[in-house]
Amino acid sequence: MKKLKFCRSWRGYRTGQVVEIAGGLAAQLIAQRVAVEDLQTTLIETAAVEHEVETADLTPRRRRRK
pLDDT in tens, 12-62: 999 999 999 998 999 999 999 999 999 887 778 888 888 888 877 777 777
Q: How far apart are CA 66 and CA 64, in angstroms?
A: 6
Contact 4, 21 (CB under 8 A): yes
pLDDT of residue 51: 84
Locate the domains of the chain by residue range.
Answer: 2-37
Distance from C-alpha of 66 to C-alpha of 55, rounded to nearest angstrom: 33
Residues 17 and 38: their CA atoms lie apart, in Å, by 10
Q: Which residue has the higher pLDDT, 3 or 41?
A: 3
pLDDT recorded at residue 35: 96
